[in-house]
Amino acid sequence: MIGDTPQTTAAVAIAVVAVVAAIVAFGALVSVQAAVLLLAGLTFLGAAARLALPAARVFAVRRRAVDVVVLLAFAAVLGYLGLTTPLG
C-alpha cells in the first residue's frame, strides 16, 4: 500500500501547516466566519491541486480519488458551516 502513493514531501507538509496556522490566527484575531470560509477555499484548492498535480507536489495521503473526494466533502461541509452558523 505504501508503494501506491508517494509520500508527501516535508516542504509541502510545512507549507500546508503554515497556511492553516495563519488562517487559524486570522480567525482568532479578525473573524471566525471568514477563517472557516478561507479553510473551505483552501480545502477546495487542495482537492483541485490533488486532482491536477503529481502526488509528489501536493499533500497526498491515499489514492488520488479518495483524497479528492474527501477534500471536496470537507470543503462543502466547511463552506456550509461558514455560511449558516452564526460565528462571532
Nearest residue to 71 via CA among 81, 59, 55, 83: 59
Grid coordinates representing 33 are 466566519
pLDDT tens-digit profile of 47-86?
998 888 887 777 777 888 898 999 999 999 999 999 998 8
pLDDT of residue 5: 57
pTM for this predicted structure: 0.82
- The C-alpha cell at 18 is 503554515
| Whole-number Cα distances in Å, 87 to 14, 25, 48, 56 | 28, 15, 27, 37
Q: Does the residue 1 lie in any domain?
A: no
Q: Is residue 47 part of a domain?
A: yes
Residue matched to cell numbers 473526494: 69
| Residue 44 counted as domain residue | yes
Percent helix / strand / coil, the chain, rounded to 5? 75, 0, 25
Q: How far apart are CA 18 and CA 44, in angstroms?
A: 17
* 2 or 33: which leads in pLDDT: 33
Task: Work out how many domains the chain is built from and give that number.
Answer: 1
Does 72 map to a domain?
Answer: yes
Positive or negative CA dihedral for 9, 15, 16, 21?
A: positive
User: Is residue 2 domain-resident?
Assistant: no
